[in-house]
Amino acid sequence: TLHDPDGRADRINWLVIKCDQDIARLYSARFNLSITEWRVMAVLGHERGLSANTVAERTAMDKVAVSRAVSALMGKKFLNRQTDPTDARRSSLKLSAKGYGVFDQIVPLALAYEQKILAHLAPEAQNTLLAILNTLEAAELAEKPGAE
């Protein structure tokens, strides 16, 4: 088992979960969205035409969770799926006009929440945090098994 005497990994995980839950309170009831549905929308709001597998990679969610979220979003008419004309096994996803309407309302709420949290750090500390996150993200990608 892992031994993390300072609890860094647990604390980072806890903070991410709590922030996700806090932001979800801003949109879940108003737009009838789950956290996983919003994660899918957030990715597709910035990158159109991705496959479900790519969305799973970008969100670090498993394929089953993404598939369920995609089905729910399609049922709400927030998402469109287009089958590749050259390969019926492949499809791409994009937000519908209705989906973009919701996306455009949630993004400012999420950004305002982020700014409220980050305001507890001095600007220099915010820049340091961003640099640390960039370094850790690059390290995670480089250290994946088989990434050599």
Q: Residue 93 forms beta bridges with which residues?
A: 50, 81
Q: Each residue's pLDDT tens digit in the chain (148 positions)? A: 456 677 888 888 899 999 999 999 989 989 999 999 999 999 999 998 999 999 999 999 999 999 999 999 999 999 999 987 887 788 899 999 999 999 999 999 999 999 999 999 999 999 999 999 999 989 988 887 765 5
Contacts of 110 (CB under 8 A, 6+ apart): 23, 26, 27, 42
> Where does the chain have alpha helices with state H?
8-31, 35-46, 52-59, 63-75, 97-118, 123-142
